[in-house]
Amino acid sequence: MQPYGKFLVLLGLVIAGTGILLMVFGHIPVIGKLPGDVRIKKENFEIYVPLTSSILISVVISIILWAVSLFPKK
């Protein structure tokens, strides 16, 4: 059970760090303004679908997890 505890603590630190960065900077300037992010604005509503941003975030997270998996396990 100890590895799960370490993973949860690390995950919590990453989430807290991301939250602090968003509070300090207000927003991530690139995310949401990429070509392929769909925004439909009408009189009474607005729909925003960040397709390209979601794919970019997924690729970055996949690369990070792949790099972490290269470390030898004890």
- Output the pTM of the full model: 0.57
Asked if the model's pLDDT at residue 59 lies above 90, the reply is yes
In whole angstroms, what is the distance from residue 8 CA to residue 3 CA? 9
* Residue 1: per-residue pLDDT: 65
* Residue 6: per-residue pLDDT: 80
Section 37-51 average pLDDT: 88
Residue 58's SS3 state is helix
Section 16-31 average pLDDT: 76
